[in-house]
């Protein structure tokens, strides 16, 4: 059997390891409900460009591929192994990997230290010792592994096939999927996502360093339950944040949360105060929860930098206008009155209501005046008085479908035009999701897709938009 070239040493070169030329799925299964089936199927579906070797002594073939009784029986070289076998078999697997010259093993295999049991924790340590001895790097154990669409790797069927500017490291595979899907409906795509579970070998510092150096990754997101190498992580963070924003959500901020991280990824989450101070000092951006993490990723990936807080807002009726003003102000943005030149321009076109229109521009005042809220937004885009813009598609409209669709289409055109012609950050709030009729939900979903395609960030509520924009500005003020 051909032995492949040995890969990198203990630290680094994850870049090469995460782009394997051949992959074996050990513990492959014909049962479509198992991850051992899915990994094989996903490599085919996402178009992995190299040999895929299912390994299972009880199968002769799987999804049209020949199946091997063990890793050793595979004819060609294997760069990367995905392990779906029970924990009892992992030590033998590492020995086989050493024989085959495998550089990287991802252990979907779980039930190690996270069970809280001593024998399982001891097995995990032995696994690490053997892998180190053979210079094999490990992802996990107890994790869902790699999503790297450019290289045909995925861990779920419903993740996008296209690549994008965001890299993500996540101790939780479930959260990784929720983040990729949630950001995905807003049009955002990912360069690579690494779910790394118990962080036995490859840890948060390795992954941050790796994504920091990845040319495809412009923004980094992280869901972390506990750090393995605190000082190195902090140092790396300080090096990365001036060039790439790093958005971090910490799981295990509270005592019951820390109890939960222990049974999830055996993480010993440290003091929340120390953690927050560390993030602040390294100029990373802390997210309060999963939804805010997604909001921030979309914001940082797409908006041009700004340090100004003077916001112009347009769209929506009276209630949403009041809410927009309150919530933007509460988030630290400055909702300035309309400047005189814009008031003058509105006076020319809507003499009956001009002195009644303000910022936020209330769409219901402008109905049937020959000027719309989005026209006011265009004026704001051209005025030096405004630093950033928010289009408010929070609808409380009483209109019939075809009429509302026409109004939204006009708004969309205006937003796209502003995106093309202005260098100011533009965000759009699409808030009509809770309690809307199905046709309206569908219409807004379509709108969101169109805005996402133009890389205009959308948010499900004004409060979330205002908070994300405010954090974005803070970051640029600190890093200017």
Per CB under 8 A, does 223 bind its own copies?
yes
Question: Which one of 8, 13, 163, 185 is in contact with its own copies (CB under 8 A)?
Answer: 185
In the complex, least distance from residue 181 CB atom to its own copies, rounded to whole angstroms: 4
SS3 state of residue 139: strand
From the CA atom positions of the chain, what is the Rg in Å?
A: 26
Q: Is 79 in the site for its own copies (CB under 8 A)?
A: no
The owner of tokens 């895929």 is: 52
Closest to 23 in 3D by CA, of 3, 2, 8, 43 = 43
Q: Binding-site residue total for its own copies (CB under 8 A)?
A: 82
Q: What is the DSSP string of 330-346?
A: HTT-B-PPPPHHHHHHH
Q: Is 290 among the residues that bind its own copies (CB under 8 A)?
A: yes
- The residue (of 384 and 438) whose beta carbon lies closer to its own copies is 438
Among 118, 158, 384, 423, binds its own copies (CB under 8 A): 158
Range in contact with its own copies (rule: CB under 8 A) among 46-54, 125-133, 357-365, 380-388: 357-365
Residue 78 lies near its own copies (rule: CB under 8 A)? no
Name the residue among 405, 390, 386 with its Cα closest to residue 360.
390
Other beta carbons within 10 Å of 440: 18
* Six-digit token string for 290: 């999963």
Number of Cβ within 10 Å of residue 382's Cβ equals: 14
Our separate counts of H helices and E strands in the chain read: 17, 17
Copy the structure tokens of residue 234.
Answer: 């902090």
Residue 23-52 contact track with its own copies, rule CB under 8 A, x = bound: ---------xx-x--x--------------
Binding to its own copies by residue 372, rule CB under 8 A? no
Among the listed residues 127, 222, 342, 365, the single contact to its own copies using CB under 8 A? 365
Question: Are the CB atoms for 228 and 184 separated by under 8 Å?
Answer: no
7 forms part of the interface with its own copies (CB under 8 A) = no
Q: Is 360 in the site for its own copies (CB under 8 A)?
A: yes
d(CA 29, CA 44): 15
Task: Fill in the per-residue mask, 237 to 256: x = in contact with its own copies (CB under 8 A), - = not in contact.
Answer: --------------xxxxxx
In the complex, least distance from residue 196 CB atom to its own copies, rounded to whole angstroms: 13
Nearer to its own copies, 136 or 462 (CB): 462
Site string for its own copies, 373-402 (x = CB under 8 A): -----------------------x-xxx--
Question: Which residue, 322, 282, 319, 284, is CA-closest to 300?
Answer: 284
358 touches its own copies (CB under 8 A): yes
Residue 434 binding its own copies, by CB under 8 A: yes
Tokens of residue 244, six digits: 């790439």
**Binding string to its own copies for residues 255 to 284, with x set by CB under 8 A, is what?**
xxx-xxx-xxx-------------------
291 near its own copies, judged by CB under 8 A: yes
Contact present, 336 and 371 (Cβ < 8 Å) = no
| Cα(294)–Cα(446) distance, integer angstroms | 19
Among 10, 16, 126, 289, binds its own copies (CB under 8 A): 289
Instruction: Say whether residue 351 binds its own copies (CB under 8 A).
Output: no
Q: Out of 201, 209, 362, 375, which residue is the one contacting its own copies (CB under 8 A)?
A: 362
Q: Which is nearer to its own copies, 6 or 318 (CB)?
A: 318
SS3 67: coil
Q: Which is nearer to its own copies, 287 or 414 (CB)?
A: 287
Among 3, 11, 117, 406, which residue interacts with its own copies (rule: CB under 8 A)? 117
Nearer to its own copies, 27 or 182 (CB): 182
CB-nearer residue toward its own copies: 4 or 260: 260
Contact 300, 247 (CB under 8 A): yes
Closest by CA position to 222, among listed 279, 267, 281, 159: 279
Q: Does 325 bind its own copies (CB under 8 A)?
A: yes
Decide: is 160 part of the binding site for its own copies (CB under 8 A).
no
Out of 220, 366, 460, 468, the only residue in the binding site for its own copies (CB under 8 A) is: 460
Instruction: Give every CB contact of residue 120 below 8 A, 6+ residues apart in sequence.
Output: 87, 111, 112, 113
CB of 223 to its own copies, least distance (A): 7
Task: Return the closest-CA partner of residue 416 out of 406, 426, 407.
Answer: 426
Is residue 148 within 8 Å of residue 192, measured between CB atoms? yes
Nearest approach in angstroms of CB 216 to its own copies is 22
Task: Order the strands of the 80-83 sheet from edge to edge.
Answer: 52-55, 23-26, 80-83, 104-107, 137-139
Q: Can residue 231 be called a binding residue for its own copies (CB under 8 A)?
A: no
303-322 residues in contact with its own copies (CB under 8 A) are 316-322
- Whole-angstrom distance, CA of residue 103 vs CA of residue 135: 7
Query: Which residue, 56 or 170, has its beta carbon nearer to its own copies?
Result: 170
**Length of the chain in terms of residues written:** 480
Min. distance of Cβ 252 from its own copies in angstroms? 6
Token pair for 160: 């996008």
């Amino acid at each position: 059997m051909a032995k492949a070239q040995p890969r990198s040493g203990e630290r680094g070169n994850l870049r090469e390891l995460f782009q394997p030329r051949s992959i074996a799925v050990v513990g492959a299964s014909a049962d479509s409900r198992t991850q051992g089936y899915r990994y094989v199927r996903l490599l085919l579906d996402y178009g992995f460009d190299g040999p895929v070797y299912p390994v299972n002594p009880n199968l002769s073939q799987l999804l049209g591929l020949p199946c091997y009784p063990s890793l050793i029986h595979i004819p060609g070289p294997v760069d990367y192994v995905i392990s779906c076998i029970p924990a009892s078999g992992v030590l033998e697997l590492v020995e086989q990997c050493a024989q085959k010259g495998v550089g990287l093993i991802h252990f979907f295999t779980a039930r190690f230290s996270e069970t809280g049991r001593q024998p399982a924790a001891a097995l995990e340590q032995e696994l690490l010792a053997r892998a180190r001895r053979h210079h094999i790097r490990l992802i996990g154990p107890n994790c869902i592994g790699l999503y790297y669409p450019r290289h045909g790797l995925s861990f779920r069927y419903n993740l996008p096939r296209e690549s994008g500017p965001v890299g993500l490291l996540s101790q939780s595979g479930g959260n990784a999927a929720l983040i990729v899907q949630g950001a995905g409906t807003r049009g955002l795509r990912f360069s690579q996502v690494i779910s790394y579970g118990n962080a036995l070998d490859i840890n948060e510092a390795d992954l941050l360093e790796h994504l920091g150096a990845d040319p495809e990754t412009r923004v980094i997101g992280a869901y972390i339950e506990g750090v393995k190498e605190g000082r190195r992580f902090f140092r790396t963070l300080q090096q990365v944040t001036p060039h790439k924003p790093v958005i971090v959500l910490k799981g295990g901020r509270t005592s019951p949360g820390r109890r939960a991280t222990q049974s999830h990824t055996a993480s010993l989450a440290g003091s929340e105060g120390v953690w927050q101070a560390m993030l602040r000092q390294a100029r990373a951006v802390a997210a309060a929860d999963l939804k805010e993490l997604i909001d921030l990723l979309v914001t940082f990936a797409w908006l041009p930098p700004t340090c100004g807080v003077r916001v112009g807002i347009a769209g929506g009726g009276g209630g949403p206008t009041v809410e927009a003003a309150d919530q933007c102000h509460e988030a630290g943005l400055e909702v300035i009155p309309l400047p005189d030149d814009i008031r003058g321009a509105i006076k020319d076109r809507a003499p009956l209501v001009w002195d009644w229109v303000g910022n936020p521009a209330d769409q219901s005042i402008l109905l049937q005046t020959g000027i719309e809220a989005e026209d006011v937004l265009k004026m704001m885009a051209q005025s030096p008085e405004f630093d950033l813009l928010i289009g408010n598609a929070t609808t409380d409209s009483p209109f019939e479908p075809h009429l509302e669709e026409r109004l939204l289409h006009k708004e969309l055109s205006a937003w796209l035009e502003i995106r093309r012609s202005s260098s100011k950050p533009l965000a759009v709030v699409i808030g009509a999701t809770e309690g809307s009729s199905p046709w309206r939900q569908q219409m807004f979903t379509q709108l969101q897709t169109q805005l996402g395609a133009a890389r205009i960030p959308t948010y499900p509520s004004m409060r979330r938009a205002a908070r994300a924009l405010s954090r974005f500005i803070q970051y640029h003020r600190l890093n200017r």
